[in-house]
Amino acid sequence: MAETGHRDPARVLSLDMDFHRTVVEASAGPRLLAIHNSIEPQTERYWRMYANIIEQLGKSVAEHDLIIQGIETGNPELAEKSITEHWQRGWERLCKMIDALSERGSW
């Protein structure tokens, strides 16, 4: 979808949430997982909007690829750096979208 520009926001959201859920479940302890589970439903609305920004999809996919590369090659430094950068960049993209839609502070 990132390469073709095909729009399927529901599929993008599902794949993205599955990817992040897999990483969190594999790496978080029970306490962090409980915190994640309590916050995730509150943020889902924003991730649904984010999934509609298809031009950003390629950036997210490339970041996911780096995370996977770090995990598959057994390179924890690359995996950690890639996850940290992905969350930061994702947050920045999400904030821009929230600002553009005047959603900040309405929740």
pTM of the model as a whole:
0.78
Q: How confident is the model at residue 13 (pLDDT cuts 50, 70, 90)?
A: confident
How far does the chain reach from its first CA to its final CA, in angstroms?
Answer: 31
Retrieve residue 17's tokens.
């949430």
| DSSP 8-state assignment for residue 6 | -
pLDDT tens string 31-81:
999 998 898 888 887 777 777 766 678 888 999 999 999 999 999 999 999
Tell me the three state secondary structure of residue 98.
Answer: helix
User: How many angstroms separate the CA atoms of 6 and 29, rounded?
Assistant: 37
User: How many angstroms separate the CA atoms of 107 and 102, rounded?
Assistant: 11
For residue 86, give the amino acid letter.
Answer: H
